[in-house]
Structure 1
Amino acid sequence: MGQGAHTAAFAASYRRVAPDGPFAVDRASGRSAVRMYLAGYAKVADDIRRAGGFAEPKQTLFDWRREFTRAQWLDVAPTTGVLTHLSGS
């Protein structure tokens, strides 16, 4: 399954379990997670610059890959990102 298929599957499952969730999956489903995080980091870096008194923020990226079994993913998913907003039920 390619990345686009994974993204679509995640968006569909998220809409099913959290239709009123805090994350706009339809708007984000066309963007990679890396691009979404980079946009967030850019905003934080701008805030640091505006605050003054700090060195120029540095951003370091590392390419890595981690494959999960279905069971492993279901264990870790509720502890990351927007999924932390969902209840255990």
Structure 2
Amino acid sequence: MAWPDRVEIDAAGDVALTAEQAAGLLGCALEDFLADLRAGRVFSVVERGEGADAGRLRLTLQRRATRRQILVAAQDGRVLRIT
């Protein structure tokens, strides 16, 4: 799966990914992702930028030893960087 170039921003202003997007970003099969999600082995944090980073959101996804960070433009959900 190709990494997304845009993500949904929900009504609360948080990044909303589908399970398919999250599994793809973490490099695992959807079934494995869902099993780990149910078992509490998937974590996510959304941080809102301040100062020079205002208008950006950083989403950190972690499953077991794999971690991805996605930098997103808060106004339109455009993905700026994935590391």
TM norm structure 2? 0.28
Say which structure is richer in strand: 2
The structure whose Rg is larger is 1
Say which structure is richer in helix: 1
